[in-house]
Amino acid sequence: MEEIEVKFLNVNPEELQAKLAAIGAQKVGDYFYRRRVFDYPDWRLDKAGSWLRLRDEGEKITLSFKQRLGMAQTETGNDAGMDETEIVVSDFDTTAELILKLGLIEKHYAENKRTRWEKDGVQFDIDTYPELEPYLEVEAPSWEKIDEAIAWLGFNPADKKIFSANQIYALKGIRVSDCARLTFAEGAVKRGL
């Protein structure tokens, strides 16, 4: 299923939350996520712009296959969108063990913090990742609703980005594929260290 979302980079979380409250959005909560991302040993998923993600969201644990659609010619360009197939699983560590037993390898472990707001079926997630400036992710049931949400915030539609967190890291010169861990305590830890 196509995941309909855009990102706006380098936001001020306090100012943005005040704006979200002013437009009538409701704060849902603050979350700490941890994720493990997997691929085959030959990195065939990565080569196809896709990955298998196991994410502990605190309230639930999800396993998702994600694939970039209409991949940009450059690592930092906009894609056409994202395809996502997701299920809920019961145990983070046991699911990771099962994936590894199937012959996949762990590409990396990562953490992020998220503050979620909602209005009229639109999710506004203020995401903070290690070594990145906070950014806003807007997810909606349609591209028309995305445009409406952008207008609510008074953002310039030309500033929206259609790409993954890995592409945001690439803008900062960090290749996530070179990292074993991305944590708040350690930052970006290269493979083999």
192 φ/ψ angles, rounded to the nearest 5 degrees = 85, 0
91-102 pLDDT tens trace: 999 999 999 999
Q: List, in sequence order, every beta strand (DSSP E) within the chain.
A: 2-3, 5-8, 26-39, 50-56, 61-69, 81-89, 105-119, 122-128, 135-139, 179-183, 187-190
The answer to whether residues 132 and 172 touch, using CB atoms and an 8 Å cutoff, is: yes
* Residue 80 buriedness (CB in 10 A; 0-12 / 13-18 / 19+): exposed
Q: For the residues 149-173, what does the mean pLDDT come to?
A: 93
The candidate with the shortest Cα–Cα distance to 182, out of 132, 115, 116, is 132
Question: Band of the pLDDT at 83, cuts 50, 70, 90?
Answer: confident
Residue 156, both tokens: 């310039």
Cα 113 from chain centroid (whole Å)? 11
pLDDT at site 70: 74
Percentage of the chain exceeding pLDDT 70: 94
**Is 77 a residue whose pLDDT tops 70?**
no
The full set of domains in the chain, from first to last, is 2-190 (2.40.320.10)
Question: Band of the pLDDT at 79, cuts 50, 70, 90?
Answer: low
Please give the DSSP secondary-structure letter assigned to residue 5.
E
Please give the DSSP secondary-structure letter assigned to residue 133.
-
Question: Band of the pLDDT at 69, cuts 50, 70, 90?
Answer: confident
